């Protein structure tokens, strides 16, 4: 049989402090990049705004398009060209809610472009219009969805394991979400509804990863009848390492295909999950187990202290 | 073959049979040519469409609109709930006559209405049709001298305030003296009967200018201002609109209209252009006879949502209970106007608070991309599993295929919709199914390495991995349920596919896989396992 990583003995827990520092640095860098950039780039879903995508039957210059639009009162438009200058993504910040029955923005835009470039035909690929209030509502919903998910997962893991593992797992989860957000900020990606869905998916995948490790630790504990320590956790990590790597590789392969072939709509979604899977795998090994171990050790120390004090009192 | 094994096999066969039954309409429907498939009137297709797996708007193309009723325009004693119900009824009426297959009209929250039109091509027409309040009013046009007085008053009032007006509204400094009349095309001679002409470019400026102040407070209490609804072509070939000064009180409203149809030749000067012919109720006909009899020689403006659709001169008393709207309509516009007049007015104007449209070709690209990614991803995973786990890898692949099959069946049975994020959910489910198999196989390998027999290794492997798999799937299921509660459209689709996939996964990866291994072990005394 073909195997990898059988019988590895890597002392992961020795390096957990280094991992903490690395993670803290990444999260801080993410926070700094957010401060410099003045927050996330919110997509139309959350910021409110208009997004129009057209495919024209000929190449036009982005500058010409911009001139045509600003002539019609759409001056603040962000314009992105793709497919060699035939397809354009046009974004306009916060609109007012419009009286229904008025011409939609896309129809007005096409008229303006046709005035500028006679004879051009454009096919509407998509149009999204989100009023400012709906954007606010969606922001609130996304925030609660993430928070409630994390809390419910914490509750579940606490019921099934010990609270210490639950806490370790949930800190690692929050860490994964923060690191993915830091990367989104570095790469200037927009926060859209699919990206939030990706974050929750990452949370699901990542807790799955941690549970595999915690399950092993629990089994070891039962077998040995003593409290978990660094050696025991290292052993569990090494025993599950081949599964962690193989699964990670499989999921990354499927995500790669989504990323390369799934088209523009799914691209950011797949990207966020890909980063999340990598981060989640790393945090299962170092952060989740590490924090749980530190919590266990701290509890042990407190127990020893209490026993010492009790011994002194007796003496 | 022991007893429990037979029961398990029976359960599996039953589930597969149910799944095939759930997916049957889908196969029947998508096996037909497209034109036949989307026929909104064929009852057989209708039934199939109701039961088959639906594609979401993001994959099929279509339009999603969230409308909000403007509560400030409702009478203070009216219940918002009733008003929304009535508005939904009227919208349903309009959309049904427009002819869209499977429109979805739903209440959302207290004062919102969600409208989904799948596969719609002419978006502009749909927005016109759905969004118009369709408040129809018949108002008398003021005589020329009175109209001039009103316009002068607005002009003077605005000139006095020009210091407070934003510069963007005043084209140049000359306009400060006559902000309104300088924009008018043939003022003050008003060669056109009853109204003043404005060139199209100036019309936008003038409207912005009038909207910046409260015009109604500047003019006599019995007057109001209205522009023609569509651009007209003037004698010298320029396009523009007409500004009418109307009496504020409506002589008659849309409630007097019982029916409306598109007709040609209503306007003798342009016999080939379409118009709308309205039949009035008995009460309306009496009222109309009175109004026309008392105002011969004057213009009666037909005002739709505060825009003047037409303003014909009353030549004679009209006893027939027929009224007409003529103008520069296309056939489609006249047809739609007839539809909304028939369906009646919304109780209050609606605002578009959210709109998402996906063109058919983007939907097509998404389906193709998703399918490609799904197939390639599956092939990569299959190749890897066969290479790494040999014969057992084949078991994992069978379970995975069964999982995806159950997923589609579950989606069809729940009347779910497949969306782009839904496809991503399927990909993720495949990932989780793989993970379950890997967990089990790695455990079995460990046991074999520890020198256990094949039978014991398989038993232990499944027993140990089972709890882990259950925990892992349940926690992800928590995320899926939360997403389902909070998500809208596409995200709901993602949550549903993921949720069904996870539940199917717990069954296929553990129970079905174990059955297959059990069947392999039952046949002979197995000494080695291809894993």
Please report the DSSP string for A273-307 in residue order. Answer: HHHHHHHHHHHIIIIIHHHHHHHHHHHHHHHHHHH
Q: How far apart are CA A201 and CA A276, in angstroms?
A: 9
Q: What is residue A214's predicted lDDT score, i.e. its pLDDT?
A: 87
- A-contacting residues in B 144-203 (Cβ below 8 Å): none
- B-contacting residues in A 270-299 (Cβ below 8 Å): 270, 273
Cα–Cα nearest to B466, from B444, B481, B482, B445: B444
B292: left (phi over 0), alpha (psi -120 to 50) or beta: alpha
Q: How far apart are CA B96 and CA B504, in angstroms?
A: 39
Q: What is residue B409's predicted lDDT score, i.e. its pLDDT?
A: 95
Q: Which residue has the higher pLDDT, B486 or B323?
A: B323
Strands (E), chain A: 41-42, 49-56, 78-82, 87-92, 98-99, 122-130, 190-191
Q: What is residue B31's predicted lDDT score, i.e. its pLDDT?
A: 79
Segment A24-50 mean pLDDT: 90
SS3 call for B304: strand
Using 50, 70 and 90 to split pLDDT, how confident is the model at B176? low
Instruction: Tell me if B421 and A197 make a contact (CB, 8 A cut-off).
Output: yes
Least Cα separation, residue B113 to chain A (angstroms): 12
pLDDT at residue B15 greater than cutoff 90? yes
Q: Which two tokens stand for residue B436?
A: 């379950």
Q: What is residue B515's predicted lDDT score, i.e. its pLDDT?
A: 92
Which is it for strands B300-304 and B274-280: parallel, antiparallel or unpaired? unpaired
**End-to-end Cα, chain B, rounded Å:** 24
Is any Cβ of chain B less than 8 angstroms from the Cβ of A6?
yes
Is any Cβ of chain A less than 8 angstroms from the Cβ of B366?
yes
Instruction: Tell me if B353 and A101 make a contact (CB, 8 A cut-off).
Output: no
Other C-beta atoms lying within 10 Å of the C-beta of residue B488: 19
Q: How far apart are CA A178 and CA B302, in angstroms?
A: 60
Q: Which residue has the higher pLDDT, A132 or A225?
A: A132
Q: What is residue A200's predicted lDDT score, i.e. its pLDDT?
A: 77
Question: Which residues in A lie closer than 8 A to residue B476 (C-beta atoms)?
Answer: 204-205, 207-208
Segment B394-422 mean pLDDT: 91
- Highest mean pLDDT among A191-205, B37-51, B96-110, B440-454 belongs to B440-454
Using 50, 70 and 90 to split pLDDT, how confident is the model at A85? confident
Instruction: Tell me if B377 and A258 make a contact (CB, 8 A cut-off).
Output: yes
Contact between A186 and A40 under an 8 Å Cβ cutoff? The reply is no
pLDDT at residue A106 greater than cutoff 80? yes
Q: What is residue B460's predicted lDDT score, i.e. its pLDDT?
A: 92
Q: What is residue B40's predicted lDDT score, i.e. its pLDDT?
A: 65
Question: Which residues in A lie closer than 8 A to residue B362 (C-beta atoms)?
Answer: 53, 125-126, 265
Element (H, E) at B417: strand B417-418
Segment A31-40 mean pLDDT: 90
Question: Which residues in B lie closer than 8 A to residue A124 (C-beta atoms)?
Answer: 123, 357, 359
Nearest CA in chain A to B483: A145
Q: Which two tokens stand for residue B409?
A: 């069946």
Instruction: Dihedral sign for Cα A266, A267, A268, A271, please.
Output: positive
For B227, list phi and psi in degrees, rounded to 5.
Answer: -100, 160
DSSP state of A75: T
Instruction: Tell me if B434 and A250 make a contact (CB, 8 A cut-off).
Output: yes
Contact between B310 and B41 under an 8 Å Cβ cutoff? The reply is no
DSSP state of A42: E
Please report the DSSP string for B208-271 in residue order. Answer: HHHHTTTGGGTS-TTEEEEEESS-EE-TTS-EEEEEEEEESS-SEEGGGEEEEEEEE--STTST
Cis peptide before B158 (omega within 30 of 0): no
Cβ partners under 8 Å of residue B153, min gap 6 = B218, B219
Q: How far apart are CA B376 and CA B27, in angstroms?
A: 23
Q: What is residue B172's predicted lDDT score, i.e. its pLDDT?
A: 53
Q: Which two tokens stand for residue B64?
A: 């999603």
Cβ partners under 8 Å of residue A242, min gap 6 = A3, A4, A5, A6, B442
- Highest mean pLDDT among A218-222, A264-268, A295-299, B489-493 belongs to A295-299
Q: What is residue B1's predicted lDDT score, i.e. its pLDDT?
A: 53
**End-to-end Cα, chain A, rounded Å:** 62
Instruction: Tell me if A247 and B434 make a contact (CB, 8 A cut-off).
Output: yes
- A-contacting residues in B 53-82 (Cβ below 8 Å): 58, 66-68
Q: What is residue B489's predicted lDDT score, i.e. its pLDDT?
A: 67
Question: Which residues in A lie closer than 8 A to residue B430 (C-beta atoms)?
Answer: 254
**Mean per-residue pLDDT of chain B:** 85
Q: What is residue A146's predicted lDDT score, i.e. its pLDDT?
A: 81
Instruction: Tell me if B464 and A219 make a contact (CB, 8 A cut-off).
Output: yes
Residue of A145, A246, A263 lying closest to B483 (CB–CB):
A145
Question: CA-CA distances (angstroms) from residue B4 to B11, B114, B123, B399, B486?
Answer: 11, 50, 58, 20, 41
- Taking 3-state DSSP, the helix, strand and coil percentages for chain B, each rounded to the nearest 5, stand at 55, 20, 25
Q: Which residue has the higher pLDDT, B256 or A258?
A: B256
Radius of gyration of chain B (CA): 34
Q: Which of A148, A197, A213 has the most B C-beta neighbours within 10 Å, making it the best mutation to test the interface with B?
A: A197
SS3 call for B108: strand
Q: Is B57 exposed, middle or buried (0-12, 13-18, 19+ CB in 10 A)?
A: buried
Instruction: Tell me if A197 and B491 make a contact (CB, 8 A cut-off).
Output: yes
For B137, list phi and psi in degrees, rounded to 5.
Answer: -140, 145
Segment A218-245 mean pLDDT: 86
Nearest CA in chain A to B358: A126
Q: Which of B362, B443, B457 has the most A C-beta neighbours within 10 Å, making it the best mutation to test the interface with A?
A: B362
What are the tens digits of pLDDT across the range B269-328? 778 889 899 999 999 999 999 999 999 989 999 999 889 988 888 988 998 889 888 877
Q: How far is CA A54 from the centre of its chain?
A: 29
Segment A96-103 mean pLDDT: 64
Cα–Cα nearest to A80, from A58, A52, A107: A52
Least Cα separation, residue B372 to chain A (angstroms): 7
pLDDT at residue B335 greater than cutoff 70? yes
Which is it for strands B307-310 and B257-264: parallel, antiparallel or unpaired? unpaired
Instruction: Tell me if A250 and B66 make a contact (CB, 8 A cut-off).
Output: no
Q: Is B300 exposed, middle or buried (0-12, 13-18, 19+ CB in 10 A)?
A: buried
Instruction: Tell me if A197 and B531 make a contact (CB, 8 A cut-off).
Output: no
Helices (H), B52-79: 57-60
What are the tens digits of pLDDT across the range A118-134? 888 888 888 988 888 88
Q: Which two tokens stand for residue A51?
A: 């997004």
| Exposure b/e, A104-127, CB count within 10 A at least 16 = b | bbbebbbebbeeebeeeebebbbb
Using 50, 70 and 90 to split pLDDT, how confident is the model at B16? very high
Q: Which residue has the higher pLDDT, A108 or A172?
A: A172
Q: How far apart are CA B337 and CA B129, in angstroms?
A: 8
What are the tens digits of pLDDT across the range B142-161? 988 888 888 888 888 888 77
DSSP state of B307: E
Segment B161-187 mean pLDDT: 68
Segment B39-51 mean pLDDT: 76
Using 50, 70 and 90 to split pLDDT, how confident is the model at A95? low
**Mean per-residue pLDDT of chain A:** 85
Segment B321-340 mean pLDDT: 86
Instruction: Tell me if B381 and A258 make a contact (CB, 8 A cut-off).
Output: no
Q: Is B79 exposed, middle or buried (0-12, 13-18, 19+ CB in 10 A)?
A: exposed
The size of the A-B interface in CB pairs under 8 A is 232
Q: Give the total residue count for chain A.
A: 315
What's the pTM?
0.77
Which is it for strands A41-42 and A190-191: parallel, antiparallel or unpaired? parallel
Residue of A97, A212, A260 lying closest to B472 (CB–CB):
A212
Q: What is residue B57's predicted lDDT score, i.e. its pLDDT?
A: 85
Of all residues in chain B, what percent carry a pLDDT higher than 70?
A: 93
- A-contacting residues in B 269-308 (Cβ below 8 Å): 305
What are the tens digits of pLDDT across the range B429-461? 888 888 899 999 999 998 999 899 999 999 999
Other C-beta atoms lying within 10 Å of the C-beta of residue A128: 21
Q: Which two tokens stand for residue A248?
A: 């990670």
Segment A99-108 mean pLDDT: 71
Q: What is residue A208's predicted lDDT score, i.e. its pLDDT?
A: 80
Q: How far apart are CA B130 and CA B125, in angstroms?
A: 9
Segment A183-200 mean pLDDT: 86
Instruction: Dihedral sign for Cα A182, A187, A188, A194, please.
Output: negative
């Amino acid at each position: 049989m073909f195997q990898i990583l059988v019988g590895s003995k890597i002392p992961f827990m020795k390096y957990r402090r280094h991992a903490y520092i690395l993670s803290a640095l990444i999260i801080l860098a993410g926070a700094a990049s957010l401060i410099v950039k003045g927050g996330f780039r919110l997509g139309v879903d959350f910021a409110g705004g208009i997004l129009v995508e057209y495919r024209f039957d000929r190449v036009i210059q982005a500058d010409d398009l911009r001139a045509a639009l600003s002539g019609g009162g759409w001056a603040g438009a962000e314009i992105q060209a793709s497919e060699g200058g035939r397809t354009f993504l046009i974004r306009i910040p916060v609109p007012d809610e419009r009286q229904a029955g008025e011409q939609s923005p896309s129809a007005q835009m096409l008229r303006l472009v046709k005035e500028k470039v006679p004879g051009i035909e454009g096919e509407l690929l998509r149009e999204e219009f989100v009023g400012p209030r709906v954007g606010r509502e969606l922001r609130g919903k996304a925030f609660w969805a993430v928070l409630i998910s994390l809390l419910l997962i914490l509750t579940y893991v606490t019921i099934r394991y010990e609270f210490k593992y639950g806490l370790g797992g949930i800190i690692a989860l929050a860490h994964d979400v923060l690191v993915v957000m830091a990367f989104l900020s570095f790469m200037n990606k927009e926060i859209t509804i699919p990206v939030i869905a990706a974050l929750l998916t990452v949370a699901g995948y990542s807790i799955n990863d941690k549970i595999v490790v915690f399950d092993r630790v629990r089994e070891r504990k039962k077998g040995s009848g003593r409290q978990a320590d660094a050696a025991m956790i290292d052993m569990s990590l090494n025993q599950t390492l081949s599964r962690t790597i193989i699964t990670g590789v499989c999921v990354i392969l499927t995500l790669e295909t989504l990323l390369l072939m799934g088209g523009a709509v799914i691209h950011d979604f797949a990207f966020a999950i890909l980063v999340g899977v990598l981060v989640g795998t790393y945090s299962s090994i170092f952060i989740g187990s590490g924090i749980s171990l530190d919590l266990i050790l701290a509890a042990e120390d407190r127990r020893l202290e209490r026993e010492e004090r009790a011994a002194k009192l007796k003496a | 073959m022991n007893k429990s094994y037979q029961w398990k096999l029976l359960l599996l066969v039953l589930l597969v049979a149910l799944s095939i039954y759930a997916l049957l309409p889908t196969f029947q429907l998508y096996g037909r040519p497209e034109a036949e498939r989307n026929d909104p009137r064929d009852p057989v297709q209708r039934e199939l469409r109701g039961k088959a797996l639906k594609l979401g708007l993001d994959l099929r193309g279509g339009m999603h609109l969230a409308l909000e009723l403007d509560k400030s325009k409702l009478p203070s004693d009216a219940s918002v709930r009733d008003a929304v119900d009535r508005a939904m009824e009227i919208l349903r009426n309009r959309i049904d006559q427009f002819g869209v297959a499977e429109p979805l009209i739903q209440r959302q929250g207290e004062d919102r209405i969600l409208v989904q039109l799948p596969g719609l091509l002419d978006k502009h027409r749909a927005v016109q049709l759905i969004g118009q309040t369709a408040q129809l009013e018949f108002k008398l046009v003021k005589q020329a001298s009175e109209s001039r007085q009103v316009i002068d008053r607005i002009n003077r009032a605005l000139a006095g305030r020009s210091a407070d007006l934003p510069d963007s509204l005043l084209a140049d400094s000359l306009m400060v003296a006559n902000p309104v009349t300088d924009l008018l095309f043939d003022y003050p001679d008003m060669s056109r009967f009853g109204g003043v002409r404005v060139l199209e470019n100036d019309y936008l400026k003038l409207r912005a200018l009038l909207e910046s102040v409260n015009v109604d407070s500047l003019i006599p209490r019995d007057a109001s201002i209205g522009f023609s609804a569509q651009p007209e072509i003037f004698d010298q070939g320029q396009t523009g609109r007409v500004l009418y000064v109307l009496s504020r009180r409506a002589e008659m409203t849309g409630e007097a209209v019982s029916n409306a149809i598109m007709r040609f030749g209503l306007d003798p000067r342009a016999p080939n252009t379409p118009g709308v012919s309205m039949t009035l109720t008995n009460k309306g006909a009496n009222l109309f006879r009175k109004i026309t009899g008392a105002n011969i020689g004057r213009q009666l403006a037909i005002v739709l949502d505060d825009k003047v659709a037409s303003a014909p001169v009353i030549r004679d008393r009209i006893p027939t209970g027929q009224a007409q709207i003529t103008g520069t309509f296309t056939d489609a516009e006249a047809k739609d106007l007839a539809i909304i007049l028939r369906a009646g007015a919304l109780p209050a104007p609606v605002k578009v608070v959210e709109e998402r449209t996906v063109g058919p070709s983007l939907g097509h690209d998404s389906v193709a991309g998703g399918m490609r990614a799904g197939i390639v991803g599956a092939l990569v995973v299959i190749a890897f599993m066969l290479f790494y786990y040999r014969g057992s890898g084949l078991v994992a692949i069978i379970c995975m295929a069964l999982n995806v099959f159950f997923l589609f069946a579950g989606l069809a049975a729940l009347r779910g919709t497949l969306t782009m994020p839904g496809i991503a959910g399927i990909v993720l489910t495949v990932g989780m199914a793989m993970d379950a198999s890997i967990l089990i196989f790695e455990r079995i390998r460990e046991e074999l390495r520890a020198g256990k027999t094949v039978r014991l290794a398989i038993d232990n492997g499944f027993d140990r991995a089972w709890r882990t798999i259950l925990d892992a799937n349940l926690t992800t299921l928590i995320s899926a349920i939360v997403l389902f509660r909070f998500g809208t459209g596409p995200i709901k689709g993602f949550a549903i596919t993921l949720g069904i996939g996870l539940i199917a996964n717990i069954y296929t990866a553990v129970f079905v896989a174990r059955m297959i291994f059990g069947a392999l072990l039952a046949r002979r005394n197995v000494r080695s396992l291809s894993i």
